[in-house]
């Protein structure tokens, strides 16, 4: 009896009649037993088609399925990716001085709620090194010289390569990356912005929110692009506040919303549930 | 050039490898241009497969697609339904004395948010007749004799038939139907229960909730089955309360949650977004 | 035995030690039986104190309590207002072409959830006159000439005076008022902005939100000030959307959030549960 | 210049006219500078009055204020408690094998979001000892013999006394305590129930919830009383699920809701924001 391995297939291409039929026939032909299947068609005539499938595949068919998809791709201008479900992406968590997002990510990785490994933690300050030590995760202090970000980013590049990092998570890193650095990690850097974007773009959003007298505190996890705080939104959430909440309470509620939103975004990202198109995301959740 | 008509296809059958491929190939073969496609595979080996698709179909193919689906169905033990998207289901709203759910449904039908027609309103009291009059909807008062529900249900049957009703919506109707009546309208009666089921089954749930000191007030829309308050849940939602809320406030918040949840459930139902399996629902929302 | 009448007392003044003691002693001295009491101290040394109390008062004491409050006020630089709870504020609902907010307000007034009367409806178009007719509410069509808003606002002034309007509710009125008009109704004009302010200030927020790919749709009810969309926020809420939701779905969800948020803000306002300070609100909810 | 110390005052007594006046006059008389003041009157003639105030008090007045409150108490049948705000309650966290609630509590204590100290962790299994070690918190393994719970509870009593524990937090402890033990810690044991009580009372609530097809997953933090899962509710919350979520996803979402709800309840409890009356709670949140 042949052994089987679970795989994930992601597809993005211009929408065309027959594409679901063609892809699903191909999967069926190679003996894939589909356990999850999500698709989304975006917009009209020049619309896009997105698909995510999970299936068991007979090991003898892996290579043949790859060949079939390669043969199919050009006709549909199809981007596709076939990943063994068991693959655990490697994360670099970038931090500064605030611990709540880091602690949340470490906890969810350990509990299995985030299906990834933390390869290293990088801090522009060393305040959070004790947390890394406690969990036996390598910690690197890489100070940032505002006049010469390239220097620290070069060190970061070297570390990301050395640790074979798939995704960088800015867990309240508080530094703006150069467009050049960002361009080297497309859709591979996730940031948590501590407001309900696009409200309160820029620094000190809780001060802004408090001064504005909002009734809900939000947070936004998004992919980092060259345009500050304007990258594709992966997840957002809010929590209610009222006049009794002072600025410190806004920050406390904010910490709670931030870490939940960031953890959810990372969990979806590492399971390849997030696809990006024209600065918006398609998210196929659990 | 051939004209095209928008259709919806619903499918439920035991899950089997190849089914998506088979159905989507069939649609493609008949020139269907899929605009929405949702599917769900439930459970393991004896699992079920559910599918909902929206597409434009060349008019010349309608008959042939029907024939193809008929030919396909037996091999897959497939239940299927092909409906023109333009079809507007006909609703009967059953009420008693409280107006909030009725008003919400009438409003959403008029605004177009619920894609159906209200064929008639049936009340066991005539309190809400003025609302029906105001909107030119036929209103029938059918009092219920607790000793002889069959009599009033016979009248109701006759009215449902005369008005060609597709779905009965119990909008705070407050009467328990006989199992025989329920059995005649399977998955065609929607009820709003004024609590977060399965908490507070039975009468006076707000009194129960208040006495229990809950922090959230909920409502549940479900299909009516012979087992009181135990039918498949279509939608639930909650709203926060606290110690400052008295019993009357619980009811006020409850009215708000009830009508929202019921309206959403009806809106999904009439667009055939709800499938039922083993007392649970698959809901493909907007 | 003396008869009693329920009253509401609102107080705003600079915060000072002893103020709660002084006011509550005064109420006790005049035989007030407090049934609800909320207070809020805002900020530090130059902080403000806000209070709202509901109580029954012996009729023989009404005048004396008024005199006592008048005597007390100067020492505390106190603004205060004593209103019989039974007083029903008179609303003018201003509309344009979209009905959902108007329908919600009319429904909640009729169900008693908003404790006010709708004195008249004013539309810059006459599209919604049938709704007014259906509920026997006077409807006035007051077209707006963008070059001469003063003309239509003069008519509006006259109508607001003739109908003794307490509060103007802009229920998707879609026109910008002149600063002069706004200044004549301080904290007496409530607007619903169809986004989660301060995100998406300005026109067509749902288009903006859709293009930005947000995951939550919001609405904001606020008092109107001279500064567009920047007045004190009374209430906000959001509803979740995802990639499956198109622009029309954003609008549909938006209609739902808008009318809920607006109705809640109006309900709190007419029960004098909203106090304004430095562009923020203190809301004492049910 | 006299030094001042921040205090909290809690009061519960039968509601009577004049009580706010009397208490606030007393505070004013002793130079208390009130920074937060919440009160709640519950019910009608035999209603209860609850109050919580935060204030700075001149050190010279502490003793005198205590004496004044003692003198005041009998006339009002008043229960009161005056606590220095700086006092950090001592928690015992009781666990079994699941870590998520423990990790959350440890994290929030370390970040300062929960204003308490964790005196010890008690597990009926030793699975979670590594977490305790990592944070230098004493861990005691106290196995439970179902035939002789008194034995393990005697050990627990001894530990609670030795570590001067104020509050026991059952962080997924999964064992039922004897009524005798519970009676020894009135309103001092907080449990997290992994469902939206009173739905799904008893074991395996996620299995029950999944089988019932609910659309929201909830959790409930409550004080433990002799009646299983029926104690006063401190906090509840829910998270949305849909048909795509399997049983494991229900549990995963559940873990998230559980720890949030429990942490919020504990944070409010240790700041003495929770008062209990007739199996319901008054919660004065931030």
How many helices and strands in chain B, by DSSP H and E? 8, 13
**What residues pair up with A34 in beta bridges, in sequence order?**
A55
Looking at the predicted structure, is the pLDDT value of residue A166 above 90?
yes
Q: What is the DSSP string of B100-137?
A: HHHHHHHHHHHHTSS-SEEEEEEESSSTTHHHHHHTT-
C235 contacts A216? CB cut-off 8 A: no
Give the distance from residue A71's alpha carbon to the nearest chain B alpha carbon, in angstroms: 18
Which of residues 2 through 21 in chain D touch C, CB cutoff 8 A? 17-18, 20-21
Q: Tokens standing for C205?
A: 């927020």
Name the residue of chain A whose CA is nearest to C247's CA.
Answer: A43
C255 contacts B111? CB cut-off 8 A: yes
C12 in Cβ contact with C48 (< 8 Å): yes
Mean pLDDT calculated for residue range A178-188: 96
Distance CA D204, CA D191 (A): 16
Residue D21: pLDDT band by 50, 70, 90 thresholds? Answer: confident
Give the distance from residue D201's alpha carbon to the nearest chain B alpha carbon, in angstroms: 9
Give the distance from residue A47's alpha carbon to the nearest chain B alpha carbon, in angstroms: 10
Asked if the C-beta of A233 comes within 8 angstroms of chain C's C-beta atoms, the answer is: yes
Give the distance from residue A53's alpha carbon to the nearest chain C alpha carbon, in angstroms: 17
A104 contacts D255? CB cut-off 8 A: no
Asked if the C-beta of D28 comes within 8 angstroms of chain C's C-beta atoms, the answer is: yes
Give the mean pLDDT of chain B: 92
Asked if the C-beta of A207 comes within 8 angstroms of chain C's C-beta atoms, the answer is: no
Helices (H), chain A: 19-29, 62-76, 100-111, 129-134, 149-162, 179-184, 205-212, 247-270
Of all helices (H) and strands (E), which one includes residue B154?
helix B149-162
Give the mean pLDDT of chain D: 92
Q: Within this chain, do residues A39 and A127 fall inside the same structural domain, yes or no?
A: no
Q: Tokens standing for A30?
A: 């190679």
B273 in Cβ contact with B283 (< 8 Å): yes
- What's residue A21's pLDDT? 86
Q: Which of C40, C62, C84 is the last residue of a domain?
A: C84
Residues of C with Cβ-Cβ distance to B40 under 8 angstroms: none
Looking at the predicted structure, is the pLDDT value of residue C44 above 70?
no
**In this prediction, what percent of chain A has a pLDDT beyond 90?**
76
Residues of B with Cβ-Cβ distance to C252 under 8 angstroms: 113, 286
Q: Within this chain, do residues B167 and B242 fall inside the same structural domain, yes or no?
A: yes
Comparing CB atoms, the residue among A211, A214, A244 nearest residue C236 is A214
Mutate to test the interface with D, among C18, C45, C216 (most CBs of D within 10 A): C18
Residues of C with Cβ-Cβ distance to B256 under 8 angstroms: 113, 260
User: Taking Cα atoms as reference points, which of A90, A173, A172 lies closest to residue A137?
Assistant: A90
Distance CA C26, CA D256 (A): 49
In sequence order, the 6+-apart residues with CB closer than 8 A to the CB of A59 are A2, A3, A4, A5
Looking at the predicted structure, is the pLDDT value of residue C102 above 70?
yes
Residues of D with Cβ-Cβ distance to A104 under 8 angstroms: 107
Residues of C with Cβ-Cβ distance to A215 under 8 angstroms: 233, 235-236, 283
Please give the backbone phi and psi of residue C50, each rounded to the nearest 5 degrees, phi first.
-125, 140
Q: Within this chain, do residues A19 and A72 fall inside the same structural domain, yes or no?
A: yes
Give the distance from residue C226's alpha carbon to the nearest chain B alpha carbon, in angstroms: 32
Give the strand order in the sheet containing C33-42: C33-42, C48-58, C4-14, C79-84
CB atoms within 10 A of CB A97: 12
In sequence order, the 6+-apart residues with CB closer than 8 A to the CB of B224 are B170, B177, B182, B185, B189, B190, B191, B231
D286 contacts A249? CB cut-off 8 A: yes
- What's residue C1's pLDDT? 53
Question: Where does residue C102 fall: left (phi above 0), alpha (psi -120 to 50 degrees), or beta otherwise?
Answer: alpha
Give the distance from residue A189's alpha carbon to the nearest chain C alpha carbon, in angstroms: 18
User: Taking Cα atoms as reference points, which of A60, A86, A71, A91 lies closest to residue A23?
Assistant: A71
B113 contacts C103? CB cut-off 8 A: no
Tally of domains in chain C = 2
Q: Within this chain, do residues B134 and B237 fall inside the same structural domain, yes or no?
A: yes
B256 in Cβ contact with B102 (< 8 Å): no
Residues of B with Cβ-Cβ distance to C244 under 8 angstroms: 285-286
Give the distance from residue C18's alpha carbon to the nearest chain D alpha carbon, in angstroms: 5
Asked if the C-beta of C223 comes within 8 angstroms of chain A's C-beta atoms, the answer is: no
Q: Are strands C167-170 and C90-95 parallel, antiparallel or unpaired?
A: parallel
Comparing CB atoms, the residue among B215, B242, B283 nearest residue D242 is B283
pLDDT values of chain B reduced to their tens digit, one per residue, 286 residues: 579 999 999 999 998 878 888 998 999 999 998 888 888 887 655 689 999 999 999 999 999 999 999 999 999 999 999 999 999 999 999 999 999 999 999 999 998 999 999 999 999 999 999 999 999 999 999 999 999 999 999 999 999 999 999 999 999 998 999 999 999 999 999 999 987 767 777 778 888 888 889 999 999 999 999 987 889 999 999 999 998 888 888 999 999 999 999 999 999 999 999 999 888 999 998 7
Q: Within this chain, do residues B254 and B186 fall inside the same structural domain, yes or no?
A: yes
Looking at the predicted structure, is the pLDDT value of residue C259 above 90?
yes
User: Taking Cα atoms as reference points, which of C88, C142, C96, C86 lies closest to residue C118?
Assistant: C88
Strands (E), D15-116: 33-42, 48-58, 79-84, 90-95
Name the residue of chain B whose CA is nearest to A28's CA.
Answer: B18
Catalytic residues of B: 229
Query: Neighbouring chains of A at 3+ CB pairs within 8 Å?
Result: B, C, D
Residues of A with Cβ-Cβ distance to C238 under 8 angstroms: 216, 238
- What's residue D225's pLDDT? 95
Q: With b meaning 16 or more CB within 10 Å and e meaning fewer, what string describes B58-82?
A: beebbeebeebbeebeeebebebee
D99 contacts A104? CB cut-off 8 A: no
Going C175 to C178 to C184 to C186, the CA torsion angle's sign is positive
Asked if the C-beta of B281 comes within 8 angstroms of chain D's C-beta atoms, the answer is: yes
Q: Within this chain, do residues D68 and D110 fall inside the same structural domain, yes or no?
A: no
- Within its chain, how far is the Cα of B286 from the centroid? 15
Distance CA D38, CA C268 (A): 20
**Residue C60 belongs to a domain with what CATH number?**
3.30.70.260
Residue A191: pLDDT band by 50, 70, 90 thresholds? Answer: very high
Q: Which of D23, D57, D84 is the last residue of a domain?
A: D84
Q: With b meaning 16 or more CB within 10 Å and e meaning fewer, what string describes A245-259?
A: beeebbbbbbbbbbb
Catalytic one among C15, C157, C229, C242? C229
Q: What is the pLDDT of residues D186-238, one digit of tens each?
A: 999 999 998 776 777 777 888 888 888 999 999 999 999 998 788 999 999 99
Mean pLDDT calculated for residue range C35-56: 84
Q: Within this chain, do residues C79 and C146 fall inside the same structural domain, yes or no?
A: no
Name the residue of chain B whose CA is nearest to D39's CA.
Answer: B244
B218 contacts D233? CB cut-off 8 A: no
Give the distance from residue D246's alpha carbon to the nearest chain B alpha carbon, in angstroms: 8
The residue among A210 and A259 whose pLDDT is bigger is A259
- What's residue A285's pLDDT? 81
User: Taking Cα atoms as reference points, which of D50, D84, D48, D51 lies closest to residue D66?
Assistant: D84
Comparing CB atoms, the residue among C233, C242, C243 nearest residue A215 is C233
Question: Where does residue D254 fall: left (phi above 0), alpha (psi -120 to 50 degrees), or beta otherwise?
Answer: alpha
User: Taking Cα atoms as reference points, which of D74, D23, D85, D89 lies closest to residue D50?
Assistant: D23
Highest mean pLDDT pick, C30-39, C192-201, D41-50, D102-111? D102-111
Q: What is the pLDDT of residues B210-244, one digit of tens each?
A: 888 999 999 999 999 998 788 999 999 999 999 88
**What residues pair up with A137 in beta bridges, in sequence order?**
none
**D166: three-class secondary structure by DSSP:** coil
Comparing CB atoms, the residue among B233, B243, B282 nearest residue D214 is B233
Give the distance from residue C211's alpha carbon to the nearest chain A alpha carbon, in angstroms: 8
In sequence order, the 6+-apart residues with CB closer than 8 A to the CB of D45 are none
Comparing CB atoms, the residue among C17, C20, C33 nearest residue D17 is C33
Comparing CB atoms, the residue among D21, D32, D35 nearest residue C41 is D35
**C111: three-class secondary structure by DSSP:** helix
**Which domain covers residue C78, as residue numbers?**
4-84
Q: Which of A66, A84, A102 is the last residue of a domain?
A: A84
Task: Tokens 């640790």: give the residue.
Answer: A163
Residues of B with Cβ-Cβ distance to A21 under 8 angstroms: 21, 24-25, 27-28
Distance CA A15, CA B214 (A): 48
Please give the backbone phi and psi of residue B204, each rounded to the nearest 5 degrees, phi first.
50, 50
Q: Within this chain, do residues D142 and D216 fall inside the same structural domain, yes or no?
A: yes
Q: Tokens standing for C281?
A: 């609100």
Q: Within this chain, do residues A71 and A94 fall inside the same structural domain, yes or no?
A: no
B185 in Cβ contact with B178 (< 8 Å): no
Q: Within this chain, do residues D119 and D235 fall inside the same structural domain, yes or no?
A: yes
Q: Within this chain, do residues C56 and C122 fall inside the same structural domain, yes or no?
A: no
Mutate to test the interface with A, among C201, C205, C216 (most CBs of A within 10 A): C216
User: Taking Cα atoms as reference points, which of A131, A115, A112 lies closest to residue A123?
Assistant: A131
- What's residue A205's pLDDT? 83
User: Taking Cα atoms as reference points, which of A238, A285, A240, A239 lies closest to residue A264?
Assistant: A285
Asked if the C-beta of A42 comes within 8 angstroms of chain C's C-beta atoms, the answer is: yes
**Residue C270 belongs to a domain with what CATH number?**
3.40.50.170
- What's residue D44's pLDDT? 58
Active-site residue, C166 included: no
In total, the C-beta contacts within 8 angstroms joining chain A to chain C are: 79
Name the residue of chain D whose CA is nearest to C47's CA.
Answer: D35
Q: Tokens standing for A49?
A: 């088609």
Catalytic residues of D: 229
Residue A88: pLDDT band by 50, 70, 90 thresholds? Answer: very high
In total, the C-beta contacts within 8 angstroms joining chain B to chain D are: 78
Name the residue of chain C whose CA is nearest to D48's CA.
Answer: C35
Which of residues 105 through 164 in chain B touch D, CB cutoff 8 A? none
D17 contacts C32? CB cut-off 8 A: yes
A113 contacts D255? CB cut-off 8 A: yes
Distance CA A218, CA A255 (A): 10
Q: With b meaning 16 or more CB within 10 Å and e meaning fewer, what string describes D171-189?
A: bbbbeebeeebbeebebbb
Q: What is the pLDDT of residues D120-150, one digit of tens each?
A: 999 999 999 999 999 999 999 999 999 999 9
**D199: three-class secondary structure by DSSP:** coil
Q: Within this chain, do residues A24 and A116 fall inside the same structural domain, yes or no?
A: no
CB atoms within 10 A of CB B239: 15
Mean pLDDT calculated for residue range A8-12: 96
Distance CA D176, CA D227 (A): 10
Q: What is the pLDDT of residues A89-147, one digit of tens each?
A: 999 999 999 999 999 999 999 989 999 999 999 999 999 999 999 999 999 999 999 99
Please give the backbone phi and psi of residue A48, each rounded to the nearest 5 degrees, phi first.
-110, 155
B121 in Cβ contact with B137 (< 8 Å): yes
């Amino acid at each position: 009896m042949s052994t089987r391995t679970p795989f994930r297939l992601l597809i993005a291409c211009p929408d065309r009649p027959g594409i679901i039929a063609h892809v699903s026939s191909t999967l069926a032909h190679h003996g894939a037993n589909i356990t999850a299947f999500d698709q989304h068609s975006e917009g009209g005539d020049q619309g896009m088609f997105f698909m995510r499938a999970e299936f068991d595949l007979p090991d003898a068919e892996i290579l043949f399925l790859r060949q079939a998809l390669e043969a199919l791709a050009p006709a549909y201008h199809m981007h596709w990716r076939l990943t063994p479900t068991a693959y655990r992406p490697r994360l670099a968590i970038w931090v500064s001085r605030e611990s709540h997002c880091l602690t949340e990510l470490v906890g969810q990785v350990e509990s299995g709620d985030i299906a990834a490994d933390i390869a290293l933690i990088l801090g522009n300050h060393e305040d959070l090194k004790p947390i890394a030590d406690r969990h036996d995760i390598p910690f690197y202090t890489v100070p940032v010289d505002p006049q010469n970000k390239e220097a620290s980013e070069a060190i970061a590049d070297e570390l990301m390569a050395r640790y074979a990092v798939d995704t960088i998570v800015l867990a309240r890193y508080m530094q703006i990356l150069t467009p050049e650095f960002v361009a080297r990690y497309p859709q591979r850097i996730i940031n948590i912005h501590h407001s309900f974007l696009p409200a309160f773009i820029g620094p000190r959003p809780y001060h802004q929110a408090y001064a504005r007298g909002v009734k809900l505190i939000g947070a936004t996890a998004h992919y980092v692009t060259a345009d500050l705080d304007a990258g594709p939104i992966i997840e957002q959430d809010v929590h209610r506040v009222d006049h009794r909440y002072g600025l410190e309470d806004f920050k406390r509620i904010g910490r709670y919303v931030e870490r939940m939103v960031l953890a959810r975004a990372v969990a979806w990202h590492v399971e390849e549930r997030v696809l990006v198109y024209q600065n918006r995301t398609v998210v196929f959740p659990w």
